Structure 1
Amino acid sequence: MKKFLLTVFALSANLLAESYKVDTIKTPLEIAPEIGGLAFNPSGELVVVTRRSGIQIAKTAKDPNGFQWRSFSDDSLHNPCGVQVISDSEMFISQMAELTKVSDTDKDGIADSYELISNEFGLSGNYHETNYILPDKKGGWYIAVGTASHNGPTFYHTQGEYKHNGRRGRNFAAVKWKGWVMHIDAKGKITPFAKGFRMHNGMGMSPDGKIFAGDNQGDWRGTSPIYHVQKDKFYGHPSALVWDEKFVKEVSDNPLFYYINNMKQYEKDRTPAAIELPQGMICNSPGEIIFDTKGNFGPFKGQAFVGDIAGPRIVRLMFEEVDGVMQGACIKFVEKKVRTGNNRLVFSPKGDELYVGQTVRGWGKPSEGIQRISFNGEMPDSIQKVELTQEGFHITFTKEKSPQDLANIANYAVQSYHYPSTHKYGSKPMDRKNIQITKVDVGSDKKSVLIHVNSLQTKRLYQIDVKNTLASCLDQARAIYKINRLQPGTVVKEVKIEKAEPATVKLSKGKDKVTVTVDGKLFTEFIQGPNKPCLYPVNGPNQENLTRHYPFKKGVKNEKPDHPWHTGIYFTFGKINDIDFWNTRTGKDKYIKNVDLQTDGSKILAHNQWIHNDKKVLSDITEITFSADSKKRFIDYKVTLNADTKDLVFGDTKEGMMAIRMDPSFKVSGQGATVLNSSGTSGKGVWGKEAKWVSYNNIQGSVISIMDHPKNLRHPSRWHARDYGLCATNPFGQNSYTKKKLAKDPFTLKKGQQITFQYRFAFHKETNDKDSINKLYNSWTQK
């Protein structure tokens, strides 16, 4: 089994602080540093190819402000995308329209010759058609010819043949060889090499001659891939096939519609990515790939780096060859210490510095220029590599760890999912599953572990999280491995679905609380919390904590002492007759108190009064029913509000109503949890949206699903669903949740009237996707 590692662009703060330094290089004021190519010439000078300021050359210095600059060419090039330096006076540059040899024939330091090598790949005039070159080490090149975008036009007069049927789709190939990797020999002869790319704005060659290309999330790209490029293979974007004469003649002259209507054939025909970079988590837009061949840039010799154009990061990719196919893992390497726009990369002649050329063309925050990352010789504390075994995953760290920490199975979590490739733009991770870790073997080197898992499948990504004390010193603690092939001899285990066994729910009433147990273990307690009744704590099926401890317990690790009115699970509202019962910080003038508490089998019956300035404003009757089996826990709230003293006006506010403040492990920001609603919206986008349910999933595999009953007023409700762990469903905030796009719509409950709301909290370990949560939802609402 042949193995090597690829590193993709994105550095962590810890890694940089200890082992790497980032400098921003000062460039001349008269140039626009939109970098299209970086290289070093034989004299050790940095060659910088720009979009509008020609070709600049610098004698480097330790001081980032001390570079000595000179102009090699002031002529503006046509969106240059790659450079190969041959000598101090010769270089090849790929422009949008052609591959050009630029030379200084009289050796005066100024370019005076621009020789066309090839322009047979066509030009439509669309801004999206990038052309990156990779030397083939035989005097020729591979050139990555990008497709055009629907966001820009094509010209009436094009370079090369134009096809009307190539103008279809979001990204298209109206002129020849768009969406292909072509080969150009030393004499300029161009031949097709591989097809089916979208915007492969960067390639790289491994030390053993393998070619890799990144591509961008978009149509036919669920997330950004890194491909192992091989001759005549199809890489999944159908637009390129209009220039495949055999396909057009024998299959279809409309490859886009052909594959939309034949997805099974599409999956059979396309070559999958060797690595996939989860969008928003690892990398958003990969650029140039470069390998560390000298080993002077830390413990990563043989690995490569690729820039994230749409994010401030570098990601490390760990490739290995399994059963003749390339695959492997990705992990962030540097993040936020570099700017966005990381388009082009080059190592210094010694190999201990990585230069980053930056430009942003509308896909992120404006950023341009050059930065330098220098290794100081200090060993970083990192996951060095991840390898697939017959049993699971072998993880090697760069530094020794405590054998006890390495052996602790609780210090690891594994999930799997996949990104489908369709004509739609991008995809969310689909069919997310929690993978059981059955065993951990510790290596004798105290730097490695073998994680045994109960399920390995091809065509899936496996997210491996290192946690707790073992993760405390790591610069990054998450790696994602893409399985294309299993190791030969792997026993494919039949995953047995364990049936849920009945469980016994018992309620025990004390003086001022009710304790709820499931099979003798604590589920939750109903208590009079600060200013209002609530359920706290809440434990899951495996006794995992699911709610934040603060304000009941202070100083708990990873908890922030914010919003002390977020108390477990509770029901309240922030604008009843302009009284804020939500933010009951003081409690002296407004609070909800329990005045009667009873139990009936598995049900709590509570009578509560809402008090303002020592006077009752309203009352409620709350019924809370508990149910469970061996795999799930349920809490059903039924709250009847009574306008027993006056008319009640429920104003427009985001602060309400049926709420839970979850354990910090459910934070989407920083803890890696995910959130999804019934409409398929995920992440921060769920906030303020209408939905039947909202469901959170932490990296440990616990899921909390909050559900709004169809009989509720203004169903489906809007959701005060934050990424830090608060989730509340609220029917009264349409103006607040839509940033005033919708008018305020207060609701009045007349004196003597009642209104009832019903909700369900489901605590489980089902897959957090629409199908699974809809089944749980329907099983509740269709009773």
Structure 2
Amino acid sequence: MVIRISGFLCIQLCALTLACGQGTEADYYPLLSVSTSQTATDSRSKLWKPAPDGLPLEVSGIAVLPNQRLAVSIRKGEVWLVDGAYDEPPNNVRYHRFASALHEPLGLLWHQGALYTAQRSELTRMADTNGDDVADEYLTVAKGWGVTGHYHEYAYGPKLDANGNLWVTLNIGLGLRGDQLNHTVQHSRLGYRQGIWRGWGIRISPNGDWEPVCAGMRSPSGIGSNLEGDMFYTDQQGNWVATNTLHHMRDGAFFHHAEALASAEQPESPLKDVAKVPNGVPFPVAVQQMPALVPPVVWFPYKRMGQSATDIMCDRSEGKFGPFHGQLFVGEFTLAGVQRVFVERIEGEYQGACFPFRSGCASAVLRMEQGTDGSVFLGLTNRGWSSLGEASYGLQRMKWSGKTPFEILEMRAKPDGFELVFTRPVDRQSAADIGSYKIASHTYQYHAAYGSDEIDVQDLEVAKAEVSEDAMSVRLTVKGLRPLYVHALEAAGVQDQKGNTLLHPQAYYTLNQIPKP
């Protein structure tokens, strides 16, 4: 089945053949289907066998286990063990039910010899104590956040940080009414009402104590850490949320969704002094007016960089997945793909750039986990919502073919522009030509309405392009940089030393702070 979304289908499909002379995305990162909801003959995806009859493998969580096994949670409330997922082709995949009777688990983690999942109302530890591959012990690790019965109150996770803490993120409830209001808290001055701690990030210590850490989340379906063990989450466009975003979770931060402030007056809240929320102003103005509001690490321009951001995975493979070790990969639901993110610290705060990476997955990418060989397992489910792809759900594996694509590896902020680092040496003539680059900046409206157009758009001048001695980087001098604006780069004219253009010439840098000289 093919779904057409606002005329964007052709752009997404053309991404498979963007490069001139260097091949397609599939040549560098082929997709191998372990299981999908239907068989197909698409040679790009290499779809093979479905899951056993009657098993809707709507993957909501993935955990990599010892001995080349996987565990996957599914939306109907079960956890299945998968053997043979690394086989090529995966003709002998075997499935075994490990756990059942869960309430919409939306994450899975293998930790200290057991599996952990976030259900709607609690974080649960599932253990097999007698070695028969069936969970016989279900223990509550943490509970106590609000559940009113609203359909949108999802709980995601857990993921692990550098200090051994587990993290869970909680969806906001939308348009609560009737009996649901009996189970809410309300901010006395701002008037917002939600189930307690809805729209918050929760940190659970190794001894089981938990605390609300940061607020302002709408639909935080992706959580993950970077190499340093700092925690990030993705959010999805909606009311108060201009477009998809990536955020750094830390104590006392407020991100954007104002209704999460319903819990701000609770004794455990690290956010107690928010007296007013701006509404209907450009985001940089909102940051000035509201000290608690922290900008995203990365904005994902809508449609150009997906429509519904999901899971976060850090490449920890040390080169087994190509040249992107240490970078973050973000799943995309509606357009059934994966995006790539480079982050850096400026004045102690994270900011960075996002890049297109892989389109053409069999269905919506909800979960990602890196296998022991560096390949990446993709958990798919469109959950009845629209997404591109020929399947409704399934499990795919994305490999690196061993060939390095010509890409912008990093985009780094400088006091007067940006430094572009490439995966291959560039052709000096094309890379030094300022006509090879176009750059513009924009921001978004911060308001209670749904989403935002790109506003205050300005074309910027690339004044100089200096190629490094080893031809692996280019220093761009750009006039008119603006803090707290997205800087959208198109480097369509840059070629490598064999005359190939970039596989993806687009990059979008969220310039929260301009580095000091």
Question: With structure 2 as the length reference, what TM-score do the two structures score?
Answer: 0.84
1:456-512 deviation line (CA, Å, top 9, x unaligned)? 1101111111124639532101101111111112xxxxxxxxxxxxxxxxxxxxxxx
Amino acid at match of 1:349: T
Question: Does the 8 Å CA contact 2:492/2:501 hold for their aligned counterparts?
Answer: no
Question: 1:68, CA displacement in angstroms?
Answer: 1.8
Matched, 1:239 2:259: yes
What is the match of residue 223 of structure 1? 243
Q: Secondary structure at the match of 1:149?
A: coil
Looking at structure 2, the residues matched to 200 and 154 of structure 1 have their Cα atoms a distance apart, in angstroms, of: 25
Q: C-alpha offsets along residues 371-430 of structure 1, whole Å, 9 cap, x if unaligned?
A: 110112111111111111122111111112221111111111111111222111111111
Q: Check 1:251–1:92 CA distance in 2 against 1; reply closer, same or farther (3 A cut).
A: closer
| Kept after mapping to 2: 8 A contact 1:125/1:153 | no
Q: Write the distance in 1 (CA, Å) between the matches of 2:178 and 2:88.
A: 45
1:714 — aligned with what?
none
Detail structure 1 runs of 4+ shifted over 6 Å in the superposition.
246-249
Structure 1 residues 415, 41: CA separation in 2 closer, same or farther (over 3 Å shift)?
A: same
Shift of 1:15: 4.6
Question: In the alignment, is the contact (CA less than 8 A) between 1:42 and 1:87 conserved in 2?
Answer: no
Which amino acid is 2:200 matched to? W
- Equivalence map 1:513-528=2 (5 Å): none
Give the secondary structure class of the aligned counterpart of 1:269: coil
**Alignment match, 2:89:** 63
Question: What residue number does 1:354 align with?
Answer: 376
Q: Gaps (5+ residues) in structure 2?
A: 1-11, 18-22, 36-50
Q: Which of 504, 511, 517 is the equivalent residue of 1:476?
A: 504
**Equivalent residues in 2 for 1:692-703 (5 A)?**
none
Q: Which residue number in structure 1 is paired with residue 410 of structure 2?
A: 385
CA distance in 2, matches of 1:432, 1:284: 20
1:486 aligns with 2:514: yes
Q: Give the aligned partner of residue 100 of structure 1.
A: 124
Show the counterpart of 2:296.
273
Cα 1:334–1:12 change in 2 (3 A) is farther
1:437 matched residue in structure 2:
462
What is the aligned counterpart of 1:22 among 24, 31, 34? 31
| Residue identity matched to 1:16 | E
Residues 1:157 and 1:422: Cα distance change in structure 2 (over 3 Å) = closer
Partner residue, 1:403:
428
Summarize the Cα distance change of 1:64–1:149 in structure 2 as closer, same or farther, 3 Å threshold.
farther
Contact 2:233 2:246 in 1 (8 A): yes
The partner residue of 2:438 within 413, 428, 433 is 413
The alignment-based identity, stated in percent, is 26
TM-score (norm 1): 0.57
Q: Contact 1:126 / 1:155 at 8 angstroms: preserved in 2?
A: no
What amino acid sits opposite 1:194 in the alignment?
C
Aligned to 2:31, the other structure's residue is in SS state strand
What secondary structure, in the 3-state scheme, does the structure 2 residue paired with 1:375 have? coil
Q: Which amino acid aligns with 2:33?
A: T
**In the alignment, what sits opposite 1:678?**
none
Q: When the two structures are aligned, how many residues end up with a matched partner?
A: 467
* Larger-Rg structure: 1
TM superposition shift of 1:190: 1.9
**Structure 2: which amino acid aligns with 1:332?**
P
The amino acid across from 2:381 in the alignment is T
* SS of alignment partner, residue 118 of structure 1: strand
Once the two structures are TM-superposed, the CA of residue 165 in structure 1 deviates from its matched residue by 6.3
Determine if the alignment matches structure 1 residue 292 to structure 2 residue 315.
Answer: yes
Q: Aligned partners of 2:249, 2:381: CA distance in 1, in Å?
A: 26
**Partner AA of 1:184 in structure 2:** I
CA distance in 1, matches of 2:395, 2:294: 35
Tell me which residue corresponds to 1:592: none
Equivalent residue for 1:369, pick from 375, 384, 394: 394
Give distance in 1, aligned partners of 2:179 and 2:55: 29
Q: Do the aligned residues in 1 keep the contact of 2:426 with 2:472 (CA within 8 Å)?
A: yes
Per-residue CA deviation, residues 228-272 of structure 1 (Å, 9 max, x unaligned), is 1111111121111111117997655xx6xx544997565433000
- Answering whether residue 227 of structure 2 is matched by residue 204 of structure 1, we say no
For 2:141, the equivalent position in structure 1 comes to 117
Work out whether residues 368 and 378 of structure 2, in 8 Å CA contact, stay in contact via their aligned partners in 1.
yes
Root-mean-square deviation (Å): 2.6
Q: 2:126·2:139 contact (CA, 8 Å) conserved in 1?
A: yes
Instruction: Tell which has more relative contact order, 1 or 2 (C-alpha 8 A, sep 6+).
Output: 2
Q: Secondary structure at the match of 2:194?
A: coil
Cα distance in 2, alignment partners of residues 194 and 83 from structure 1? 22
Q: Give the C-alpha shift of residue 50 in structure 1.
A: 0.6
Q: Which amino acid aligns with 1:487?
A: P
Q: After superposition, where does 1:710-749 map in structure 2 within 5 Å? A: none
Q: Which of 62-71 and 47-56 deviates more?
A: 62-71
Per-residue deviation, 1:367: 2.6
Report the secondary structure of 1:470's partner residue: coil
For 1:283, the equivalent position in structure 2 comes to 306
Distance in 2, matches of 1:53 and 1:180, equals 23
